[in-house]
Amino acid sequence: MSKRILLKNARLLDPATRLDRTGDLLVVGETIADVGTLENASADSVIECDGKALIPGLVDMRVQIREPGEEHKENLTSAAHAAAAGGITSMVCLPNTQPVIDDQSLVEFIAREARKIGLVKIFPYAAATRGLQGKELTEMGLLTGVGAVGFTDGVKPIASAQVMRLALSYARTFDQLIVQHAEEPSLTNDAGMNECEWATRLGLPGIPAAAETIMVDRDLRLVELTGGRLHFAHVSTADSIDAIRKAKARGLNVTCDTAPPYFTLNETAVGDYRSFAKLSPPLRSEADRLAVLDGIADGTIDAIASDHSPHDQDSKRLPFAQAESGAVGLETLLALTLAPVHQNKLDLLDALAALTCKPADILRLKLGRLAAGHPADLALIDIDRPWRIEASKFKSKSKNSPFDTLPVQGRALRSIVNGKTIFELES
């Protein structure tokens, strides 16, 4: 007999259906069986929610896990624990590992190890080009067959227009997604800072916002040419968002995501060479930050991902130009996304949709919903709970967060995957 678990007296929030009401949810085995007022439901165990919000588990569509190859920075187990603590029940890992995830055995390795760990669901992207070299396409059909949910060159752009055209066309054969890090490489450098007055004062060469927009404009034309499915990762500039907005209005099959740093911080967070604020793409202007918020609010930006990019101390505590780019984000994704909700700049269900059903839909995964028949992947959250981000307490192996010591509101109290509690916040 399948175990029956009743979650009682919850604020049920389902962004996919705009549900926001008090009620109960019944889990039978690994599946949601019923949602509503379930006064007479029989259950083997009852979880009292005390009016806290019960939402679909977060679906994080952009995570660097570092396994295989750099397990000292992060591995599948540590990333899974960190994700669970953040209310994330599914995540998709990038292929820029050592070796690169560009063949069937490595895609199968990720899936197999995730099952062994038995915590959050981990899905792999496969490399779009062999070795992430931007030249020869991978065997997308075979990789799709063993579980790849999309194709990307990770933190590298597919720089060649011809290769991108072929990738979009080939992926379309399998109804697959190409994910692009939109950055024109000839306009970038290792400085990792936005081109602005602040960069000039610091003596750092800047990366112009146009580096992102030029690549977005090019790739939108290639989508129009091929009819492929394209997703832009971590968009950060007003012009890029405007171009994507217009492309969607024309009916192009394009989606995009952003990450919390791009609507929470601007270029001044770099301060005096603060390497923990060195990201890729770099933190942009205040006008760009506000444009990202507007893009989420009007639905141009489909999803919010953690863009989790763990680095050890030796990689970050270097002169700014030499430090690695990126920040950890699994354990802060929920709270940072709720911040503009508390500031009345984002609607609650819109913000949660960008963390749940929208990324699930982009990836064609049956996740991110509070509905009968869907997997019982759930997060019980306290939307208003105040806490202070303390990077030293992260479950992630790496602690490189630009948000260390920031006071926030909103925290996961319990994470459930396939009906099994995988995380419960200590009181």
d(CA 343, CA 333): 16
Say which amino acid occupies 338: L
The pair of structure tokens assigned to 230 is 């394209």
CB-CB contact of 116 with 79 (8 Å): no
Other C-beta atoms within 10 Å of 196: how many?
22
Q: Which alpha helices (H) appear in 23-102, and where do they start and end?
A: 76-85
307 is catalytic: yes
> How far is Cα of residue 111 from the mean position of the Cα atoms in its chain?
18
Other C-beta atoms within 10 Å of 317: how many?
12
d(CA 146, CA 254): 25
φ/ψ (deg, to 5) at 63:
-135, 135
**Sequence-separated (6 or more) residues with CB below 8 Å from residue 97:** 65, 66, 67, 68, 69, 70, 106
DSSP letters of 85-140? Answer: HTTEEEEEE-S-SSS-S-SHHHHHHHHHHHHHHTSSEEEE-EESBGGG-SSSB--H
d(CA 292, CA 374): 31
Residue linked to tokens 């012009």: 239
φ/ψ (deg, to 5) at 206:
-105, 160
Other C-beta atoms within 10 Å of 51: how many?
10
Catalytic residue among 24, 294, 307, 361: 307
The pair of structure tokens assigned to 417 is 């995957």
Q: Which helix (H) or strand (E) holds 254?
A: strand 254-258
Say which amino acid occupies 37: T
Say which amino acid occupies 278: K
Give catalytic residues, as residue numbers: 307
